[in-house]
Amino acid sequence: MRLCSETYDVTTCGYGPAPEGVVEHIRIPDELIYWRKDRKLLITKQYRAVLEKQEVNAYLRPILSDRIFDVILADDIDPVPLALELAPRGGVHADLHEYSPGQKQDDWKWRAFVGPYISWLVRTFVTRADRVTTVCDGIADEYGRRFGLEASVVMNATPLHELAPRPTEEPVRLVHSGACLRNRNLQVMIDAMNEVEPGRFILDFYLTPNDPGYLAELKEQAEQTPGVTIHDPVEYDRLVALLNEYDLGVFLLPPVNFNYRFALPNKFFDFIQARLGIIIGPSPEMEKILNREGLGAVSGDFTASALAETLNSVTRDDIERWKMNSHESAEAFSAERQSQGWIESVAALAGRAIAKD
C-alpha cells in the first residue's frame, strides 16, 4: 500500500490500525474471522448462502455498497466476491497468495467440505477478476490448468534491508524462523543435529506458538539435543537484522499438500535479505531460485539423515560464497522490486477508469 499511496488516494479495509499513507482505513473488528463459515451450509453445499452469511462479508457489505472505487486490489481469495460486487470502474486485481483449493489437502475434513467451496469461489468469482497474481510459477500453472486462469507471478518477497554478510566462524550458526505447525515436521531439523559432526553446528529456532502443544514437544526435544535452542518469536521488523547474525537459514518443508510442495515462502526471502546461505529440502520453487543464484544447498530428501549429510558436506568457503550471492541478489528479490507487478497492474486498471471520464 505504501507504494500505491505515492500515486493514488488509497482506502484500505482490513484488521488492525490504518497503514501509513492511506486516506481512509475501514477497520474490520477483531472478533470477526474471515475464514469462519457456517458449517451446516458448507456441508450441504449451499455455497451462495455460505458466502452471504460469512461474518466479514455481512459486516462490510453495507459499509462499502454505496462507495465508488476506481480499482480494488483484493488480498487473497476471500474478498474477491465483494470486490466484484462493488464493480470498481477500472476493475479488480485478485492477489492469490497460494493455491487456495489445495491449502489443507492433508486434512480429510478440509478436503471434503472446505476445498469444494474454495474451488467454487475460484470458478465463480476469481475467473471474473481483471488481473490475477500469485506467488510462484507452480501455483500459477495449476490455476491455469484447473480453472483457465492467467495468473502472473509476484513473489512474496521481504523488504530490502541494507545489511552485509557476517564473517563465518565455527560453530556454524543455523537458524529457522516461522510458524510452529505440526505438519511442517520441524522436529526433523532437530533430529538432524544428532547426526552432524559434533560441535560444528548450532541450531536456533524462533517460533510463533501456533500449536502450543507441538511447541512444548519441540522444546523438550531441543533440551535433549546438543546445540539446539528454541527462542520466543521476535517482531517482524526486527527479524531480518536478527537473522543476519547467523550463517545458514534452514527450512525443510515436507510436501504434504500442494502448497507445501510448491512453497516459495516469505522466510526464504528473509534469509536472502539477512545475507545468509540457505539449506532447503527438494522443494522445486525454492530450489529453482537457490540453484540459479547460487544461494545454498538442497538436501536429497526431507529426512533428518539427508539434511545432516548435506550439512556435513558444507565447507566454510561454501558458506562465504552463498552469503555473498545472497548479498548480490538482495535487491532483485526484495519486496520493492517484486511488487512492481502489482504497481503495473493497478496502473493499467486505473487507466481504464480514467478513460471512462
Spatial CB neighbours of 331, under 8 Å, sequence gap ≥ 6: 160, 337
CATH T-level assignment (fold) for domain 172-333? Rossmann fold (3.40.50)
Distances from the Cα of 94 to the Cα of 78, 98, 129, 131, 271, angstroms: 10, 12, 6, 6, 27
The identity of residue 287, as a single letter, is: E
Share the mean pLDDT of the chain. Answer: 96
**Any residues with CB less than 8 A from the CB of 52 and at least 6 apart, and which?**
58
pLDDT category of residue 245 using cuts at 50, 70 and 90 = very high
Q: Among candidates 310, 298, 245, which has minimal Cα distance to 276?
A: 245
* pLDDT bracket for residue 356 (50, 70, 90): confident
Q: What is the DSSP letter of 225?
A: S
Please report the pLDDT score of residue 5 as a whole number: 81
Q: How many residues does the chain have?
A: 357
Q: Is this structure's pTM higher than 0.85?
A: yes
Sequence ranges of the domains in the chain: 2-154+339-355, 172-333
pLDDT-derived band of residue 1, with 50, 70 and 90 as boundaries? Answer: low
d(CA 321, CA 294): 8
Burial class (CB in 10 A: 0-12, 13-18, 19+), 62: exposed
Is the Cβ–Cβ distance between 180 and 219 less than 8 Å?
A: no
Type of residue numbered 212: P
What per-residue confidence (pLDDT) applies to 107?
Answer: 87
Domains 2-154+339-355 and 172-333 share a fold: yes
Phi, psi values for residue 231, rounded to 5°: -105, 160
Interior angle at CA 297, CA 296 and CA 302, nearest 5: 135
146-194 pLDDT tens trace:
999 999 999 999 999 999 999 999 999 999 999 999 999 999 999 999 9
What average pLDDT does range 81-104 have in this prediction? 94
Q: What is the pLDDT of residue 263?
A: 95
Alpha-carbon distance values, 112 to 97, 116, 317 (Å) = 22, 7, 50
User: 10, 1 in Cβ contact below 8 A?
Assistant: yes
Q: Which fold has domain 2-154+339-355?
A: Rossmann fold (3.40.50)
* Burial class of residue 10 (count of CB atoms within 10 Å of its CB; 0-12, 13-18, 19+): buried
φ, ψ of residue 306 in degrees (nearest 5): -65, -40
**What is the distance, to the nearest Å, from the Cα of residue 126 to the centroid of all Cα atoms in its chain?**
20
SS3 306: helix
Q: Which three cell numbers stand for residue 74?
A: 483484493
pLDDT tens digits, one per residue of 129-152: 999 999 999 999 999 999 999 999
| Among 204, 194, 249, residue whose Cα is nearest residue 231 | 204
Q: Which band of pLDDT confidence, cut at 50, 70 and 90, is reported for residue 6?
A: confident
Q: What is the rounded CA–CA span in Å between residue 63 and residue 53?
A: 15
Backbone φ and ψ for 18, nearest 5 degrees, come out as -65, 135
User: pLDDT digit string (tens) for 276-295?
Assistant: 999 999 999 999 999 999 99
**Model confidence band, residue 103 (pLDDT cutoffs 50, 70, 90):** confident
